C-alpha cells in the first residue's frame, strides 16, 4: 500500500463568521481531517438510518430460527352426559357419566424438515352404567414424521434462515458502503474548505502586491516622474483585488457551512457560528507510491462493498432456487408412531401400565402424492433460475464498472501529481517574472500596465497551484474509495 505525507499549515486571513453584538466569538476550532470524519460518522443521520435498517434485518434473521423452537401444548375438558336407559337388564331410568380429560404434548421441529411429537393424555370417567363406576384411561404416544422428497433435508429446512443471513450480510455491507460514501464527502468538503482558505490567502497576497504598486505609482506621480493614468490603473487593479478577496471570503464561509452540515446536523446556533480552522495539510506524493490499476483492482475485488453485496444477492437467489426445486418434486413422507394405552380403576395403576408400555401399538406409514402438471412449481423454479442468472450478470456488470472506476482513479491521481509539479514550477516562474518586471519598471524600462499583467499572471498561477493540490487530495480519496478501503483506520492520514 501507499501513504501520503502531510506537512503544510493552513492560515486564514478573514473571519468565517461574526459574533453577535455584545458577545465574544468562540475560539476557532482546530480540526484535522480525521476528526472531521469521526464527527460525521457519529452524527450523520443518513448513516444512522442505514445502521437502523441493518438492525431491523438482524432481528428478522434471528427471529427466523424460531421456526425450530419446540412447541408445548396443553388441553383440559369436562363432559357431563345424561341419556335415557333403554337396557332392561339395568334397573335405572337414565345413564349418567362425567368425564374429565387433560392432556399435554411437546412438538420438536427438526433441522431435517421433519418433526418429533411426544404427547400424554388422561381421561377420568365416572358413570352409573358401567361395571366399574370409575375408570381411568392413560395414553402415551411418540410420533416421528420426515419428508423424503419434497421439503426433505437440512438444506431445504434452513434455506429461509440462510436467505435471511445473506440479506443481513448484504445490509451490513450497505452500511459499510454508506460509511465510505460519507467519508468521501467529508474529505472532499474538508479539502474544499482548505482550498478556499488558501485561495483567500492568495487573494490577500495579490491585494498586498496591488497596494504596493499603487503606493509606488502615487509616489512617482508626486515626484513628477509618473502619470495619473498609471495611478488610475493601479487603483483599478486594487479595487479588483478587493472584489476577489470578498468573493474568496464568501467561498470560505460556504465551504465551512457545508462541512459543519456533515459533522453536526441540526440547528444549534453555536456550532454553526463557530469558526473552523483545518490543520491537515494539502498532500504531496510521489508517482511511485501510486499503485498500478491492476493492483488497485485486485484490492477492490476483495474490499468493494458493492461486489460483496452482489455476491450475497447471488447466494440469496440460489437459496430461493433450492426451495423452488424441492417444491417441484413429488411428496413422499415417512411417519412412525408408537403409543401405549392403559385403562384402570385408578390413576396409579393406569400410569404404571401406560409408561410401562404393557400394551403398545406401533404404526409406520408412507404417504405419496404427485401433482399432475405441477405448472405452478415448474414456473417458480424457472423464475428462480432466471433470478440467479440475472444476479450473476449483475455481478459481472458491476465488476466491469469498477474496473473502469479504478483505472480512472489511478489515472486521475497520476495526472494530479504531475499537475501539482507543473503548477509549482509555473508559480515560481511567475514570481521571478514579476520581480524582474518590477525591477525594470523602477529603472524606467517597463510600464505600469506590464507590471500589472505580471501580477495577474502570478495570481492565476497561485490559484492554479492551490487547485491542483486540492484536486490531488480529492484524487487520493477517490482512489481509496474505488478500492473500497476508505475507512477511518485506513484513511491514510
Asked if residue 487 has pLDDT above 90, the reply is no
1 located within any domain: no
Asked if residue 1 has pLDDT above 80, the reply is no
Task: Let me know whether 49 and 170 are in one domain.
Answer: yes
User: Average pLDDT, stretch 212-219?
Assistant: 83
The residue with cell 490577500 is: 204
Task: Let me know whether 258 and 294 are in one domain.
Answer: yes
**In terms of residue numbers, what domain contains 100?**
72-109+114-150+331-369
Task: Let me know whether 169 and 119 are in one domain.
Answer: no
Asked if residue 247 has pLDDT above 80, the reply is yes
Task: Let me know whether 388 and 434 are in one domain.
Answer: yes
- Of 100, 146, 144, the C-alpha closest to 119 is 144
Asked if residue 297 has pLDDT above 60, the reply is yes
Task: Let me know whether 126 and 199 are in one domain.
Answer: no
Task: Calculate ∠ Cα 199-35-486, nearest 5°.
Answer: 90
Asked if residue 401 has pLDDT above 50, the reply is yes
Task: Let me know whether 404 and 484 are in one domain.
Answer: yes
245 located within any domain: yes
pLDDT band at 91 (very low <50, low <70, confident <90, very high): low
9 located within any domain: no
Task: Let me know whether 236 and 256 are in one domain.
Answer: yes
Query: Which domain CATH number covers 405?
Result: 1.20.1600.10
79 located within any domain: yes
pLDDT band at 12 (very low <50, low <70, confident <90, very high): very low
Asked if residue 492 has pLDDT above 80, the reply is no
Among 69-73, 187-191, 217-221, where is mean pLDDT lowest? 217-221
Q: Give 142-177 pLDDT, tens digit per residue.
A: 999 999 999 999 999 999 999 999 999 999 999 999
How many domains are contained in the chain? 2
Task: Let me know whether 137 and 215 are in one domain.
Answer: no
Asked if residue 206 has pLDDT above 70, the reply is yes
227 located within any domain: yes
CB neighbour list of residue 96: distance below 8 Å, 6 or more residues apart: 81, 82, 127, 128, 129
Asked if residue 343 has pLDDT above 90, the reply is no
Q: What is the pLDDT of residue 382?
A: 95
375 located within any domain: no
User: Average pLDDT, stretch 371-376?
Assistant: 88
pLDDT band at 90 (very low <50, low <70, confident <90, very high): low
Among 88-97, 285-294, 398-407, where is mean pLDDT lowest? 88-97
Q: Tell the burial category of 78 from Cβ atoms under 10 Å away from its Cβ (0-12, 13-18, 19+).
A: exposed
Mean pLDDT (the chain, rounded): 85
Asked if residue 325 has pLDDT above 80, the reply is yes
Task: Let me know whether 100 and 50 are in one domain.
Answer: no
User: Average pLDDT, stretch 276-280?
Assistant: 89
Task: Let me know whether 411 and 337 are in one domain.
Answer: no
pTM as predicted: 0.79
23 located within any domain: no
* Cα–Cα dist 74/105, whole Å: 6
Better pLDDT: 218 or 408: 408
Task: Let me know whether 215 and 354 are in one domain.
Answer: no
Contact (CB, 8 A) for 336 and 116: no
Q: Give 36-78 pLDDT, tens digit per residue.
A: 999 999 999 899 999 999 999 999 999 999 999 999 999 999 9
Asked if residue 15 has pLDDT above 70, the reply is no
3 located within any domain: no
Task: Let me know whether 145 and 42 are in one domain.
Answer: no
Q: What is the pLDDT of residue 169?
A: 95
Amino acid at each position: 500500500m501507499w501513504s501520503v505525507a502531510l506537512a503544510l499549515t493552513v492560515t486564514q486571513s478573514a473571519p468565517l463568521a461574526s459574533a453577535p453584538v455584545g458577545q465574544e466569538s468562540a475560539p476557532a476550532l482546530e480540526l484535522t481531517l480525521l476528526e472531521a470524519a469521526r464527527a460525521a460518522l457519529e452524527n450523520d443521520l443518513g448513516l444512522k438510518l442505514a445502521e437502523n435498517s441493518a438492525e431491523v434485518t438482524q432481528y428478522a434473521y434471528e427471529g427466523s430460527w424460531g421456526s425450530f423452537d419446540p412447541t408445548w401444548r396443553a388441553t383440559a375438558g369436562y363432559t357431563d352426559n345424561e341419556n335415557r336407559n333403554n337396557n332392561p337388564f339395568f334397573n335405572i331410568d337414565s345413564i349418567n357419566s362425567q368425564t374429565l380429560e387433560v392432556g399435554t404434548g411437546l412438538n420438536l421441529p427438526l433441522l431435517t424438515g421433519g418433526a418429533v411429537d411426544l404427547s400424554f393424555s388422561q381421561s377420568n370417567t365416572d358413570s352409573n352404567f358401567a361395571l366399574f363406576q370409575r375408570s381411568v384411561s392413560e395414553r402415551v404416544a411418540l410420533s416421528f414424521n420426515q419428508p423424503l422428497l419434497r421439503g426433505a433435508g437440512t438444506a431445504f429446512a434452513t434455506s429461509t434462515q440462510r436467505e435471511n443471513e445473506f440479506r443481513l450480510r448484504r445490509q451490513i455491507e450497505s452500511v459499510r458502503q454508506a460509511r465510505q460514501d460519507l467519508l468521501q464527502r467529508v474529505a472532499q468538503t474538508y479539502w474544499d474548505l482548505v482550498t478556499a482558505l488558501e485561495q483567500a490567502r492568495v487573494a490577500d497576497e495579490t491585494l498586498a502586491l496591488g497596494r504596493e504598486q499603487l503606493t509606488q505609482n502615487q509616489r512617482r506621480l508626486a515626484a513628477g516622474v509618473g502619470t495619473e493614468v498609471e495611478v488610475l490603473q493601479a487603483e483599478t487593479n486594487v479595487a479588483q483585488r478587493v472584489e476577489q478577496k470578498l468573493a474568496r471570503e464568501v467561498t470560505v464561509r460556504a465551504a465551512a457551512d457545508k462541512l459543519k452540515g456533515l459533522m453536526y446536523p441540526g440547528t444549534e446556533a453555536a456550532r454553526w457560528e463557530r469558526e473552523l480552522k483545518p490543520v491537515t495539510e494539502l498532500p504531496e506524493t510521489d508517482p511511485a507510491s501510486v499503485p498500478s490499476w491492476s493492483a488497485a483492482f485486485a484490492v477492490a475485488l476483495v474490499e468493494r462493498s458493492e461486489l460483496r453485496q452482489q455476491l450475497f444477492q447471488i447466494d440469496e437467489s440460489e437459496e430461493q432456487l433450492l426451495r423452488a426445486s424441492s417444491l417441484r418434486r413429488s411428496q413422499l413422507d415417512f411417519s412412525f408412531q408408537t403409543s401405549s394405552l392403559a385403562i384402570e380403576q385408578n390413576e396409579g395403576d393406569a400410569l404404571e401400565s401406560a409408561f410401562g408400555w404393557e400394551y403398545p401399538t406401533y404404526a409406520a406409514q408412507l404417504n405419496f402424492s404427485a401433482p399432475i402438471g405441477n405448472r405452478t412449481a415448474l414456473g417458480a423454479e424457472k423464475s428462480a433460475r432466471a433470478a440467479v442468472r440475472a444476479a450473476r450478470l449483475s455481478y459481472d456488470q458491476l465488476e466491469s464498472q469498477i474496473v473502469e472506476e479504478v483505472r480512472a482513479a489511478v489515472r486521475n491521481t497520476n495526472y494530479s501529481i504531475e499537475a501539482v509539479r507543473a503548477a509549482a514550477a509555473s508559480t515560481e516562474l511567475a514570481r521571478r517574472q514579476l520581480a524582474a518586471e518590477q525591477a525594470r519598471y523602477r529603472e524606467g524600462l517597463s510600464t505600469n500596465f506590464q507590471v500589472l499583467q505580471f501580477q495577474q499572471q502570478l495570481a492565476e498561477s497561485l490559484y492554479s497551484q492551490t487547485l491542483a493540490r486540492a484536486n490531488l487530495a480529492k484524487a487520493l480519496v477517490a482512489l481509496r474509495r474505488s478500492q473500497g478501503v476508505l475507512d477511518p483506520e485506513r484513511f491514510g492520514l
